[in-house]
A and B are shown apart, each in its own frame.
Chain A
Amino acid sequence: MPDQPIVQFDNVSVQFDSLVALRDCSFTMRAGETRVILGAAGAGKTVLLKTTLGLYRPSAGRLLVFGEDVTRLPEKEWYDIRSKMGVLFQEGGLFDSLTIEENVSYPLINQRVARLDPHRDAAVIEERVRESLRFVELEHTLGKFPSELSGGMRRRVGIARAVVTSPPLELYDSPTAGLDPITANNIVSLIVKERDSRNTATMMVTHRYQDGQLMANFRYNPGKGRLEKASENGSGAPPIRTVFMVLNDGRVVFEGSQAELESSQDSYLKKFVRQE
């Protein structure tokens, strides 16, 4: 069911003591949509993502996720909803006391939807963990610890963990921050690949406008095993529905298409667009 709203913010504000991190945010994200979130440091991008995950509670407004009003949902019931989302945290969030294999299998064992038993379903778990790590080309790191991997590899393990349960919504927080351009492009390619192989709704926070451009204009071609310009594969694939959203000081200051963003005369918005 495309077009069905899966995340809906209605005038949501999030407050920490005296600091208002999100003010009156409203937007609707639909199934199959790609949403690229830009904004300066401290603009509230991470808070917005974590509010979607139910890690922070709105202090005002209404939040709907997968059609359900979750504004006042008790923590216990959030666990079911969170199992329909995959997430890559800005700081990684890999458990450094667990091996890569244990990290990637964590949602399979602990999330309500999958709830596989580590002993009974060991074979299923191992197969899905391997598949997920193969997806990010890190199958050989199974027994290693996160501290033994490079920054880019850790990011990829984070993606493997986010996609292992095949959730309908993926949240990525600054997946390319602090990486060299080549590794950064590889990471975005993985995100596009995941989006296009399962038509996953994707919300991505980023500091690099190129990431948004890649997301908006490229598709994964499973035949060739690489990305190509969306217009080139012409074979009637549906256009990518990409929405750009810009935050400034906790407010949504822009929501629209790439063309609209690029033609904007606003000085704050212009800062994000330039940098080919």
Chain B
Amino acid sequence: MLASKVWESGALLDFLKTPIQSLQDFVILGGRTFANLFRRPHYADDIAIQMDIIGVGSLPIVLLTGFFSGAVMGLQMSRALSTYGATGQVGNIVSITLVRELGPVLTALLVAGRNASGMASELGSMKVTEQIDAMRALGTDPVQKLVKPRLIATCFVLPLLTIIADFVGMFGGWVIAATILQLASTQYWSSAWRALSYSDIAQGLLKPFAFAIIISLVGCFYGMRTTGGTQGVGRSTTQAVVVASVWIFVTTFFITRIFVSI
């Protein structure tokens, strides 16, 4: 009875309308960006600036978190492996988890925190001060000028950052293996290398690519739909980070699911 009342009043539909409408708008923005991907003008300067902001800017935190995530995994795994007397396998486990999952996801989460928020707040303040309207009025397409460079830069830089994080993480694992577990370096590195198959590397590079699309488009999307002045900019920024992070986890699940089944 209650349910039918809720249904009749349209409350349930209204509740669904906003997220569905947002998703539709998001898909439209993504579609327009990809449709313009190879269309001139390309604004190479803006791509370079974004690469610098995202790549160089995120490097220190990527190095730090990469190192410590590898090290902490080495520690955790050594305890678990020692119960089977298999501490020699630590390189194996560290490299597989890093390359397949932890490297891409951690890097993407860091970049989402730094750059999805940065894009949302930058584009958001441009929106509320009518700079985006001014762009359209003065002859430039904001999708071409703002969204495309951010998408291209992120897609290029995030896989590189991930590779760096993977290596630094393995290095962190090695520090633990060599110091605490007293493992020979050659044993660690050879088991780390041998563990990796082509499919691991493919999945480890496909993921950051997909995450880059999510981070840049979500950041730009929430920025460009900002309303309500400076307060609205704060709201968009938070939403961008939360939504991008959730989608990173959802996406990694589905990509992993595909790779597990083939």
Contacts and interface: CB of A to CB of B under 8 A. Distances in A.
Interface string A106-141: 110011100000000000000000000000000000
Interface stretch (A6-14, A34-42, A89-97, A229-237): A89-97
Contact of B138 (A54, A78, A96, A106): A106
A55 B133 contact: yes
B129 A92 contact: yes
Given A91-B129, A92-B130, A93-B129, A110 B136 contact: no
Contacts of B128: 91
Contacts of B141: 75
Nearest to A92: B129
A241 interface: no
A90 B134 CA distance: 11
A50 interface: yes
A87 B137 contact: yes
A191 interface: no
Given A94-B134, A110-B138, 16 more contacts: A53-B133, A55-B133, A55-B137, A82-B137, A89-B134, A92-B130, A93-B129, A93-B131, A93-B133, A93-B134, A94-B131, A95-B131, A96-B129, A106-B138, A110-B140, A161-B138
B152 to A, nearest CB: 19
Interface of B: 128-131, 133-141
Interface string A72-96: 0001001100110101011111111
B137 A85 contact: yes
Contacts of A83: 139
Nearest to B134: A93
13 contacts: A50-B133, A53-B137, A55-B136, A78-B136, A82-B139, A89-B130, A89-B134, A90-B130, A92-B129, A93-B137, A95-B134, A106-B138, A106-B139
B139 A79 contact: yes
Contacts of A50: 133
A76 to B, nearest CB: 8
B173 to A, nearest CB: 42
A85 B138 CA distance: 9
A111 B130 contact: no
B138 A107 contact: yes
Contacts of A93: 129-131, 133-134, 137
A169 to B, nearest CB: 12
B108 to A, nearest CB: 27
Most buried by A among B131, B138, B139: B138
Contacts of A111: 138-139
Nearest to A115: B139
Nearest to B145: A110
A107 B138 CA distance: 5
Contacts of B135: 95
B140 A91 contact: no
A107 B130 contact: no
Contacts of B130: 89-93
Contacts of A53: 133, 136-137
B133 A107 contact: no
A221 to B, nearest CB: 31
Contacts of B136: 53-55, 78, 82
A106 B135 CA distance: 9
Contacts of A106: 138-139
Contacts of B138: 82, 106-107, 110-111, 161
A112 B131 CA distance: 19
Nearest to A107: B138
A112 B139 contact: yes
B136 to A, nearest CB: 6
A74 to B, nearest CB: 12
